[in-house]
Amino acid sequence: MDVIDELKDFYRDWTLEKGYIGFTENGNLIPYFKVKKTAHPVVIAQYAIHAREYITAYLGMMQAKDFAERGKHGTVYFIPAVNIDGIAETQSDKLYKANARGVDLNVNFDADWGRGEKNLRKKASENYIGEKPFSEWETRSLRDFTLLVGPDITVSYHSKGEEIYWEFFQSKSALERDFKIAVAVSAATGYPLRNAGRSAGGYKDWCVQKLGIPALTIEVGNDGLSHPIGKEHAEEIFIRNKSVFKVITEIL
């Protein structure tokens, strides 16, 4: 059974609020799972926007179940697999990152779009920015759902490297606010904070630049592992990230 089949089973068995944020290019529905303990703060957590990083989809399901059982504060929307079409592509190309149209979804957001150091202007398995910001069904779906929910913070899970990115040219006051959150999550996971350098067009970047909210990108999985990281590493990754949403919902 692959991760998409497991996600379908997870959706069927989930007894709390669930639904879909929208569609992929190939018409697959993108599911979300909501856990509400208190009305605020509100968190959106999205996973597997890069196809080969589908280990994070397993993490998303594990975190949703755990927060439903142990969470005390806040509301968290878990979106375990944004790039369902791309995950299917990894069956023939295990290093594939893009969606079904060859667009790297995490450089397709309207946040200094096209200014990233590694950006490409033609279809590829990674780094192609698309014809314009939000040219893809997946990025539009995530954008529209985010605007609908109005989160206080977003968390994007990627692999690999075991590090946290949190900056995108914030103002001084926002930088101080976001640094406090990032430090707390770093302490909970043991992952160091890093500067993303000359990257742009990501979901985190858009949330920071256009919505003015804190946003974290958390890279999981040891850098010595190969893409795609196998399911056998999901439990150890989950243990490192078990307290992330407890920390976030208590600090906001």
The residue among 12, 58, 63 whose CA lies nearest residue 35 is 63
Backbone angles phi, psi at 152, to 5 degrees: -85, -20
Find tokens 């149209």 and name the residue.
Answer: 101
Which residues of the chain carry a pLDDT beneath 70? 1
Closest to 101 in 3D by CA, of 19, 176, 26: 26
In this prediction, residue 196 carries a pLDDT of: 79
Extract the tokens encoding 108. 């397709």
Residues 184, 247 contacting (CB under 8 angstroms): yes
H/E element, 31:
strand 29-36
d(CA 242, CA 245): 8
Distance CA 248, CA 244 (A): 6
The pLDDT score that the predictor gives to residue 198 is: 83
Q: How high is the pLDDT of residue 51?
A: 98
Nearest CA-CA partner of 202 in 106, 102, 103: 106
Q: For residue 91, give both structure tokens.
A: 């069956």
CA 47 from chain center: how many Å? 4
CA distance between the termini of the chain:
38
The encoded tokens of residue 94 equal 């295990």
Cβ 120 vs Cβ 129: under 8 Å: yes
Alpha helices (H) along the chain: 3-13, 55-70, 84-89, 137-149, 172-189, 203-206, 234-241, 244-251
**Paired tokens of 111:** 């946040």
Q: Answer whether 0.75 is exceeded by the pTM.
A: yes
Distance CA 202, CA 168 (A): 10
Q: Could you tell me the domains of the chain?
A: 3-251 (3.40.630.10)
Dihedral angle of Cα 113, 119, 124, 126, to the nearest 10 degrees: -90
In three-state secondary structure terms, 163 is strand
Side-chain half-sphere exposure of 18, counting CA atoms within 13 A? 19
How does pLDDT run across 43-75, given as a tens digit for each residue? 999 999 999 999 999 999 999 999 999 999 999
Amino acid at 96: Y
Look at residue 42 and give its three-state secondary structure.
strand
